[in-house]
A and B are shown apart, each in its own frame.
Chain A
């Protein structure tokens, strides 16, 4: 409906408790918000978890998502990653099977181009690890699907952190 529909990122500090993930994901499904990806892990404080959430939404829905998240008792802090400098990466594994010798050569070239690592090697298979932005991972997956028939993909969802500010440099 709106032309300002785009992918947006939120970082969330939440209580590290049973059911919190369910509460957050339930909010998205219950209110029909798009949930593109969600990652979660504990922080330096074991009682706090941090989530990185990607959602595709328009401005108004995105405002509402932030407000709704803020309302939850278990949510400690909501950070909008839209207009701040952040470091954000996603891990992606691609396993390619039934490779010919030429396939392997090509895969090593792909790995070099995308700064991926070849982390395992079989007679006719290779396992690649990419750590880059989700957008670049999208591109890699598209490419690999076109080039190779027998692939297996697993991706981790993005994690992000604010860059060190100019003041601290």
Chain B
């Protein structure tokens, strides 16, 4: 039998798994793997400028291609820089396989240079993690990692690779099959339960579909739309579920939750059957648990048994993949008599349509509407904060337009590297990032990656000189004491008691240009359209468009944390 090193087997395994892009940052413990990757041309190696950005890029690549995102980083700090990205992917069920370098086995536990127990550190934020302790296990472990990452509820898997294990010669065989006795993701749908749920749907007077991220992850959108149209039952979505049906669909009511649409939250409050699919009833959507959907019986379809009946009591639980379940449903559903109910919802929509009061002549809504107008096809990647909620409220999602973001963990700094990953996976689709001035600076170094990879990203920065979402809470609940949220504060503002503030730092336009990217500053509403037209002409470089936003712009409606519908703030 031919013997090869672990390093060679790893590269062979990646090829057999069909990996075409790897996000890597080198170091002493992985230099041999870098060397093997250098000798081949099937796998494109991307070199981001920071491991945190690296894992976010791989995450967005996975979210927008349906493939597994693959990361390779070195031991110690390389590995610890993955932590936030792993938690981000874990929370939003994104399939990643992350390889971390590790010191040689005889050094483990010695506090060796760049040694950390990364499997221990990430145990609670990965789906699975393991250190390869024997060369003969390497192939099996990699095979299992790819299987675990993308089956069941997808998630990140970490494989820690001691340097000496990887250098050791061993079998060149990469296994073809997987058998893990403790891991058998559920398949199929319990038809009895499903029929019971459908019976309830038919009997209900005010039925409502609640679609979460699971519908998008499983790719159930098309068949879900069929079911929705057949039954004539209205749909609300979580932020992660947005686009489960196209947002311009007449049966789509809006997002629910903290910054959900008034009509969507009212519909949840008044429905008598909440038919939920692929959501875990996170606190941001339920508010006060006892008053969530108080009149409704609840059906819950989810791939993860642990998500069912955890936060809210469920009447009919169904453990299944969303797409499988919805496809089965499609065989049994009939039209429901929802005319009166839809009229009622229509009334709420008219009473309080989703809109923004203008504080300045140009607001976030104008910018997002222009994106909706100009782009037939697009992937929108957001960061985290006010702009994210604006984007979640106003971005139009269709079969050809999708939106991704760090929904569960709420990771600032996701947007820019996320856009890079999305574009690398979808070179023919326009990729538009929407970020704030705070989040943009959390991974600003990725300009280098984007420019060198010649990615024509459109990078929208909503600059209001504040950490806007926290400022919003301070404005509403903390007597306008803007502690730690003013991005222009510093020695000068302290010295002058807030009377004087320096010019905004950085100058985003100059910064973009210094990397070889383009920069456009937009201060007036009538400049928006032209800025996007201009950006579209840059087909080989990213274009940053900085929109100067009034800090008083707020995300409404808003339900206070832990609050109820009665606490909904419509405006102020």
A interface residue numbers (CB < 8 A to B): 14-15, 17-19, 22-23, 26-27, 30, 60, 63-64, 67-68, 70-77
Q: Is B304 an interface residue (CB 8 A)?
A: yes
> Is the beta-carbon distance between A70 and B124 smaller than 8 angstroms?
no
> Is the beta-carbon distance between B181 and A22 smaller than 8 angstroms?
no
Most chain-A Cβ atoms within 10 A of its Cβ — which of B124, B182, B304, B306? B182
> Is the beta-carbon distance between A26 and B124 smaller than 8 angstroms?
yes
B131 nearest in chain A by CB position: A18
Interface residue ranges of B123-151 to A (CB < 8 Å): 123-124, 127-128, 130-131, 133, 148
> Is the beta-carbon distance between B309 and A63 smaller than 8 angstroms?
yes
Question: Which one, B119, B133, B182, B309, contacts A73 given CB within 8 A?
Answer: B182
Could you list 8 examples of A-B contacts with CB < 8 Å? A19-B123, A19-B130, A22-B123, A26-B123, A26-B124, A67-B305, A71-B304, A76-B182
> Is the beta-carbon distance between A74 and B306 smaller than 8 angstroms?
no
In the docked arrangement, what's the CA distance between A68 and B124, Å? 12
In the docked arrangement, what's the CA distance between A75 and B127, Å? 13
In the docked arrangement, what's the CA distance between A72 and B183, Å? 8
> Is the beta-carbon distance between A73 and B123 smaller than 8 angstroms?
no
Q: Is B180 an interface residue (CB 8 A)?
A: yes
Q: How far is the CB of A127 from chain B (nearest CB, A)?
A: 36
Q: How far is the CB of A63 from chain B (nearest CB, A)?
A: 7
Residues of B within 8 A of A68 (CB): 306
> Is the beta-carbon distance between A72 and B123 smaller than 8 angstroms?
no
> Is the beta-carbon distance between B120 and A22 smaller than 8 angstroms?
yes
Q: Is B310 an interface residue (CB 8 A)?
A: yes
> Is the beta-carbon distance between B119 and A67 smaller than 8 angstroms?
no
In the docked arrangement, what's the CA distance between A69 and B36, Å? 39
> Is the beta-carbon distance between A71 and B131 smaller than 8 angstroms?
no
> Is the beta-carbon distance between A74 and B182 smaller than 8 angstroms?
yes
> Is the beta-carbon distance between B123 and A71 smaller than 8 angstroms?
no
Question: Which one, A26, A60, A67, A76, contacts B181 given CB within 8 A?
Answer: A76
> Is the beta-carbon distance between A64 and B123 smaller than 8 angstroms?
no
A-B contact count (CB 8 A): 41
B129 nearest in chain A by CB position: A19
Known: A30-B124, A71-B304. A64 touches B180 (CB 8 A): no
In the docked arrangement, what's the CA distance between A15 and B130, Å? 12
> Is the beta-carbon distance between B182 and A67 smaller than 8 angstroms?
no
Question: Which one, A26, A60, A75, contacts B182 given CB within 8 A?
Answer: A75
A48 nearest in chain B by CB position: B181
> Is the beta-carbon distance between B306 and A19 smaller than 8 angstroms?
no
B125 nearest in chain A by CB position: A30
Q: How far is the CB of A49 from chain B (nearest CB, A)?
A: 12
Question: Which one, A17, A18, A23, A73, contacts B180 given CB within 8 A?
Answer: A73
A67 nearest in chain B by CB position: B306
Known: A18-B131, A67-B305. A73 touches B124 (CB 8 A): no
Residues 293-316 of B, flagged 1 when their CB comes within 8 A of A and 0 if not, give 000000000001110011000000
Query: Which 8 pairs across A and B sit closest by C-beta, in order of nearness?
Result: A67-B306, A76-B182, A73-B183, A73-B128, A30-B124, A67-B305, A75-B182, A68-B306
> Is the beta-carbon distance between B305 and A72 smaller than 8 angstroms?
no
Interface residue ranges of B271-321 to A (CB < 8 Å): 304-306, 309-310
In the docked arrangement, what's the CA distance between A26 and B129, Å? 14
B182 nearest in chain A by CB position: A76
B127 nearest in chain A by CB position: A73
Residues of A within 8 A of B306 (CB): 64, 67-68, 70-71
Q: How far is the CB of B252 from chain A (nearest CB, A)?
A: 32
B148 nearest in chain A by CB position: A73
In the docked arrangement, what's the CA distance between A125 and B166, Å? 57
Q: How far is the CB of B454 from chain A (nearest CB, A)?
A: 40
Residues of B within 8 A of A15 (CB): 182
In the docked arrangement, what's the CA distance between A82 and B29, Å? 49
Q: How far is the CB of A36 from chain B (nearest CB, A)?
A: 21
Residues of B within 8 A of A23 (CB): 123
A17 nearest in chain B by CB position: B130
Known: A18-B131, A18-B133. A72 touches B182 (CB 8 A): yes
> Is the beta-carbon distance between B120 and A19 smaller than 8 angstroms?
yes
A23 nearest in chain B by CB position: B123
Q: How far is the CB of B214 from chain A (nearest CB, A)?
A: 15
B153 nearest in chain A by CB position: A71
Most chain-A Cβ atoms within 10 A of its Cβ — which of B148, B181, B309? B181
Residues of A within 8 A of B124 (CB): 26-27, 30
Residues of A within 8 A of B180 (CB): 73
Q: How far is the CB of B289 from chain A (nearest CB, A)?
A: 12
In the docked arrangement, what's the CA distance between A19 and B123, Å? 9
In the docked arrangement, what's the CA distance between A53 and B128, Å? 22
